[in-house]
A and B are shown apart, each in its own frame.
Chain A
Amino acid sequence: MHTKIFSGRRFVFWPLALVALSVQAADRIEKVFTVSKNSNLMLMNYSGMVSVKGWQNSEIKAVWVKYSQNVEIDTESGVNKVRLATHVMDKLASPERAKVDYQILVPEDAGLQIQSNLGSVLIENVRGPVNVDVVDAPVRVIGTAGYVTAKSLCSRLEISQSKGIIQTKTVSGDIVFSRLESNNVTASSTLGNIYYEGDFSRGGKYNFTTNEGFISINCPDQASVDWEAKTVKGAIESDLPIKSKAHRSVPRNSPERQSLVGTQNSGDATVQLSTFSGTIKIRRK
């Protein structure tokens, strides 16, 4: 039995099959770019997983795995910038034939500009400015310290434990914030929901707007917030001790009748919530 495998026609078949398999298998390429302080990474991917993490070295180390001959990776590098771009030859091919996974390590002070149509994006421990723009690729941003702008068409944006200014925008994707230390956060969605979990920074400004989705806030009793929430067709629910502002009382026939304007504790952070037809829920954490 054992000898039969390597005999006759099969003896010719197996090497050919192995060659064919190696052509189909993924290509893994690793490149290291030495960069200066405050460098920038620009990555444009079509489809696949993207992971970018900060590390202590002054190098950008990029590993990419491509699964098809339908894609080529263009690289450009300078003293303080590296650009990686997935070039898709046949754009009408399925996303599987355009798939490239990237795992990248960047200096912690680096700035990032990431674009991806499909797949997923993870960004972790980066102190420079971060700009992410995706079509349908869930984005997770963790532990950043710079200015973050994240935009998604229909996938979820999740930002946690981050410090700098945060601006997010989606059409139908949800936006999720948790344990932020930022004092300036903006979320805007047309059809997605917005979730915020955690305390608000003293003097911070938070503005969340969704047209069709709902807004859910989970914050502690001791949060010091000046609240302004309004909805056209939705409702506002709260179980927090918010004192209504007498001078901003809403007239009976006002278009803002479904609104809540009030202060919790000394009102150090300003939180503005607005939705056209969704519900606003402000809950005790």
Chain B
Amino acid sequence: MNGLPANCTEVQRRISECLDGGEPPDEERRLKKHLDECWECSRVYEDLKSIKETAAELDAPEPPDTLWSSVRLQLVQQGLVRDRKPTLWERVFPRGFASSLKPAFVGAILALFVIGIAYYVRDSRKDLPPSTESAVLLEVQRAESHYQKAINALDAVSQKRLQSLSPELAQIFTDNLATMDYYLKECQDAARKNPDNPLVHQYLLVAYEKKAELMQTIVNSDSQ
């Protein structure tokens, strides 16, 4: 059970289409009216809008040649993608093409992956009947596992980026990552002690999301 009124559930499912301009004008007006009145939905709307805008504005510093291959290697090791024969795309574009992708872009993809997990979890929880609390917890655990994999992948990129910053700035980021880890651990402990408390799990997933966001900030920090 997600605790949202049926109308909110429907609105939150349509927000993404609304942002992409895929809703008819009448429907869009109806959604916006609801957003004016509903804090929960307007927050989801603002989050998605901000993610969309941020993704569109990302700039593109030069990556090291090995970046994409190391990210891919980690994704393969974590079972997120499989090694396979070259696709038509890969045959058309030379091998060096992938390594010319920018780290900010890689970060953005990973960030979108993380965000995708968040909305996947939300949607999964909406579809479950009220009696399946344990199924919800299972979904939360799966989401946690995906977040951890995404964070591990972002870690390699952000660590590389930290090396290109002044030691003072790198230290600030490192300190904040450490405090974020401390908070994350606190949420993990609380979730372990209160396995049936959805609010605690919600904070835990938010903690993962915030850590991924901080790593994304680090990846984009060397723009000047």
Interface string of B46-76 (1 = CB under 8 A from A): 1000000000000000000000000000000
Task: Quote the shortest CB–CB distance from B153 to chain A (angstroms).
Answer: 21
Say whether, besides A233-B190, A256-B199, A190 and B172 are in contact (CB < 8 Å): no
A86 located at the interface, meaning its Cβ lies under 8 Å from any Cβ of chain B in the complex: yes
Question: In the bound complex, how far is the Cα of B168 from the Cα of A94, in angstroms?
Answer: 7
Query: Is B164's CB within 8 Å of the partner chain A?
Result: yes
Contact of A46 with B by CB under 8 A = yes
Judge if B98 is at the interface, Cβ distance under 8 Å. Answer: no
Give the distance in Å from the alpha carbon of A126 to the alpha carbon of B115 in the complex: 34
Inter-subunit contact A94/B176 (CB<8 Å):
no
Chain A positions within 8 Å of B210 at CB level: 171, 190, 211
Q: Is there a chain A Cβ closer than 8 Å to B203's Cβ? A: yes
Q: Is A82 an interface residue (CB 8 A)?
A: no
Determine the residue in chain A with the shortest Cβ distance to B187.
A276
Nearest residue, chain B, Cβ from A206:
B39
Residues of B near A87 (CB, < 8 A) are 224
Assess the A92–B166 pair: CB atoms within 8 A: yes
How many whole Å from B171's CB to the nearest CB in chain A? 10
Q: Specify the main secondary structure of chain B where it touches its partner.
A: helix
B176 and A172 within 8 A (CB)? yes
Return the contact of A91 from the options B46, B166, B214 (Cβ within 8 A). Answer: B166
| A190 and B224 contact, Cβ closer than 8 Å, known pairs A95-B168, A207-B39, A255-B194 | no
Is A98 engaged at the interface, CB distance under 8 Å to the other chain?
yes
B221 at the interface (CB under 8 A from A): yes
Q: Annotate B26-44 by CB proximity to A: 1 below 8 A, 0 otherwise.
A: 0000000000000100010
Across the interface, do A255 and B166 meet the contact criterion of CB distance under 8 Å?
no
Residues of A within 8 A of B180 (CB): 171, 190-191
Could you say which residues of chain B place their CB within 8 Å of the CB of A207? 39, 43
Contact of B224 among A88, A172, A212, A256 (CB under 8 A): A88
- B203 engages A255 (CB within 8 Å): no
Distance in angstroms from B59 CB to nearest chain A CB is: 11
- Chain A residue nearest to B186 in the complex (CB): A277
Q: Does the CB pair B203–A211 fall under 8 Å?
A: yes
Question: Residues of B contacting A230 with CB < 8 Å?
Answer: 199
Neighbouring A residues of B214 by C-beta, 8 Å:
153, 171
Given the complex of chains A and B, what is the CA–CA distance between A88 and B168 in angstroms?
A: 15
Chain A: number of interface residues, binned into ranges: 35 or more
- Taken residue by residue from 83 to 100, chain A's Cβ proximity to chain B (1 for < 8 Å, 0 otherwise) reads as 001111001111100100
**Known pairs A44-B224, A172-B176, A232-B199; A272 contacts B183 (CB<8 A):** no
B18 interfacial contact with A, CB 8 Å: no
CB distance from B136 to the nearest CB of A (A): 13
A213-232 interface (Cβ within 8 A of B): 230, 232
Cross-chain contact A86 with B224 (CB below 8 angstroms)? yes
A260 on the B face (CB < 8 A): no
Is residue B24 within 8 Å, beta carbon to beta carbon, of the partner chain?
A: no
- Give CA–CA (A88, B180) in the complex, Å: 29
**In the complex, what distance in Å separates the CA atom of A154 from the CA atom of B174?**
12
User: Told that A117-B224, A172-B176 touch, could you supply 5 new A-B pairs with CB distance under 8 A?
Assistant: A92-B165, A93-B166, A211-B206, A230-B199, A256-B199
B residues sitting closer than 8 Å to A (CB atoms) are 39, 43, 46, 164-169, 172-173, 175-176, 179-180, 183, 186-187, 190, 194, 197-200, 203, 206-207, 210, 214, 217, 221-224
Instruction: Please report A residues at the B interface, Cβ cutoff 8 Å.
Output: 44, 46, 85-88, 91-95, 98, 117-118, 135-136, 153-154, 167, 171-172, 186, 190-191, 205, 207, 211-212, 230, 232-233, 255-256, 270, 272, 276-277
